[in-house]
Amino acid sequence: MDRLGHTQKDISIIIVSYNARAFLNLCLFAVRKSVPGLSNEIFIVDNASSDGTVEMVREKFPEVTLIANTVNLGFSAANNQAIHQASGKIILLLNPDTIIGEDTLEKIIQFYQEYPQAGAVGVKMIDGSGKYLRESKRGLPTPRTSLYKLTGLTTLFPRSPRFAQYYQGHLNENKLQQPDILPGAFMAFRKQQLQQTHALDESFFMYGEDVDFSYRLQQQADHNYYLGNLPIIHFKGESTPLNSKLVYHFYYSMWIFYHLHFRKKYSLIAAFMVKAGIMMAASLSIITLPLRKIKNHIQQKKSVTYHTIFFCSPSQQITEGLIRKHYPKANNFQYIHPEDLESGYSTLDLNKGMIIFDIAHVQIMQMIKIIERMNLKASFSFLSPDHSFILSSQHSAGKGQIFTF
């Protein structure tokens, strides 16, 4: 029993959503496939979405505990609503634009059994094109580390132990590592740890709360851990509109973190320089915002001529005609079994090819590994479990596309 008198679960999964209905649909379907055999509870905290998210969750995932906010409380406060109710020994914060494998949760629980004093635990994240996401593991954003990132030295020397400390690029992303910071898109921790530290700091509306929380967990535990052999998909940015308010929260979170953890360690001159640097970076970001919006719009609307559509599924319930409705320029359509794709993709003509995964009929962990292995060799889309839409996210910096039938 926990302190609230609830029977303690193996794991509590908490997902904060905001206008990401289609992505949340796939995310919850994957979570549902990963919990059999585990004592679990799933919380969805919706921050006043206007896209029918609440209705979708109630209709398709009745087993979920839904907290439907009438206003957008922000990421930290929304997570805390569920954290305070959660009864799991392990709590997992998960973004709605993620897809996890069937064995992901089981492996997280097994890891904590082997490392009972571990702090936060994260995993390897790839985007919808198979590209590794560097924010899967990060270093502590000290003023020096942040300066290297803002000046571009991190990009110029991506494997340097000194200049690439922000993303800890010197640490092999495919192995078990002990980074300082893990992302809130997938962050597990023990409920017991909340007896020694408070939950997410609500002075962070969005951004920075994961940096602060994983740093505090690291201070009270042996280490935070990154599991480089456990990949998941994180599409990125599907519930965060690109606007000046988002830019403000992103850079203001940097100052909040500095003020909380570094202001007593550095001089007033250093604090002035940090604040000036943050303000300059924020100003530049706002100035270039219209250009980035145009670029993202072009990427989203760009017409790509797919020569071949590979429909990856052991089932042939979906007809070629239904797929061609959204890809009329494709001159070749092929059904392909996941095992054949995994073993023989190198022999396929993937130039301007699109692979559509039937997520209801493929093994998700196998699908993730195929996408990771085929990184950028083809484009990928995902057919929803009820065959009502196809979801595609080819650029981690821009919005994905949803084609409804």
Q: What is the pLDDT of residue 351?
A: 74
Q: Is residue 99 part of a domain?
A: yes
Query: Strand 353-358's sheet: what is its strand order?
Result: 332-336, 308-312, 353-358, 379-383, 389-392, 401-404
Note the pTM of the prediction, 2 decimals: 0.90
Burial profile 189-223: b = 16 or more Cβ within 10 angstroms, e = fewer: bbbebeeeeebbbbbbbbbbbbbbbbbbbbeebeb
Are 223 and 318 contained in the same domain?
no
Q: Is residue 4 part of a domain?
A: no
Cα 61 to Cα 16, 27, 65, 90, 246, distances in angstroms: 15, 11, 9, 22, 30
Residue 111: CATH number of its domain: 3.90.550.10
Q: Give the sign of the dihedral formed by CA 300, CA 124, CA 24, CA 81.
A: negative
pLDDT in tens, 344-394: 777 777 777 889 999 999 999 999 999 999 887 788 999 999 989 999 887
Average pLDDT over residues 248-271: 74
**Of 7, 6, 16, nearest in space to 80 by CA:** 16
Q: Please check whether residue 199 is in contact with residue 91, taking contact to mean a CB–CB distance below 8 angstroms.
A: no
Q: What is the pLDDT of residue 4?
A: 53
Are 220 and 105 contained in the same domain?
yes
Q: Is residue 151 part of a domain?
A: no
- The rounded percent of the chain whose pLDDT value lies above 90 is 56
Are 61 and 131 contained in the same domain?
yes
Q: Please check whether residue 78 is in contact with residue 209, taking contact to mean a CB–CB distance below 8 angstroms.
A: no
Are 212 and 355 contained in the same domain?
no
Separation CA 83–CA 133 (nearest Å)? 26
Q: Is residue 149 part of a domain?
A: no
Q: Is the pLDDT of residue 342 over 90?
A: no
Q: Is residue 1 part of a domain?
A: no
Q: Please check whether residue 206 is in contact with residue 179, taking contact to mean a CB–CB distance below 8 angstroms.
A: no
Q: Is the pLDDT of residue 53 over 70?
A: yes
If residue 15 lies in a helix (H) or strand (E), which one and from where to where? strand 9-17
Are 223 and 254 contained in the same domain?
no
Are 355 and 261 contained in the same domain?
no
Q: Is residue 3 part of a domain?
A: no
**Domain range for 270:** 244-287
Q: Is residue 349 part of a domain?
A: yes
Block residue for tokens 């494998």: 101
Q: Is the pLDDT of residue 160 over 90?
A: yes
Report phi then psi at 46, rounded to 5.
Answer: -100, 125
Q: What is the pLDDT of residue 201?
A: 86
Separation CA 63–CA 66 (nearest Å)? 9
- Is 261 or 8 the better-scoring residue by pLDDT? 8
Report phi then psi at 123, rounded to 5.
Answer: -135, 175
Average pLDDT over residues 118-139: 95
Q: What is the pLDDT of residue 398?
A: 66
For residue 295, the Cα-to-chain-centroid distance in whole angstroms is 22
pLDDT in tens, 206-238: 888 999 999 999 988 889 999 999 999 999 866
Q: Is the pLDDT of residue 135 over 70?
A: yes
The neighbouring-strand residues paired with 227 are 123
Are 357 and 279 contained in the same domain?
no
Q: Is residue 383 part of a domain?
A: yes
Are 349 and 305 contained in the same domain?
yes
Q: What is the pLDDT of residue 75?
A: 93
Q: Please check whether residue 227 is in contact with residue 137, taking contact to mean a CB–CB distance below 8 angstroms.
A: no
Are 181 and 268 contained in the same domain?
no
Instruction: Give the number of other Cβ atoms within 10 Å of residue 16's Cβ.
Output: 29
Three state DSSP letters for 252-308: HHHHHHHHHHCCCCCCHHHHHHHHHHHHHHHHHHHHCHHHHHHHHHHHHHCCCCCCE
Average pLDDT over residues 78-94: 96
Q: How confident is the model at residue 243 (pLDDT cuts 50, 70, 90)?
A: low
Q: How confident is the model at residue 11 (pLDDT cuts 50, 70, 90)?
A: very high
Q: How confident is the model at residue 397 (pLDDT cuts 50, 70, 90)?
A: low
Are 225 and 108 contained in the same domain?
yes
Three state DSSP letters for 21-55: HHHHHHHHHHHHHHCCCCCEEEEEEEECCCCCHHH
pLDDT in tens, 266-313: 777 776 677 777 777 777 777 777 776 666 666 655 545 688 899 999
Are 131 and 215 contained in the same domain?
yes
Q: How confident is the model at residue 5 (pLDDT cuts 50, 70, 90)?
A: low
Separation CA 245–CA 249 (nearest Å)? 6
What separation, in Å, do the N-terminal and C-terminal C-alpha atoms of the chain show? Answer: 46
Are 262 and 218 contained in the same domain?
no
**Total of domains in the chain:** 3
Average pLDDT over residues 4-20: 88
Separation CA 308–CA 328 (nearest Å)? 11
Lowest mean pLDDT among 90-104, 107-121, 184-198: 184-198
The neighbouring-strand residues paired with 233 are 99, 126
Average pLDDT over residues 321-341: 85
Block residue for tokens 């209905």: 21
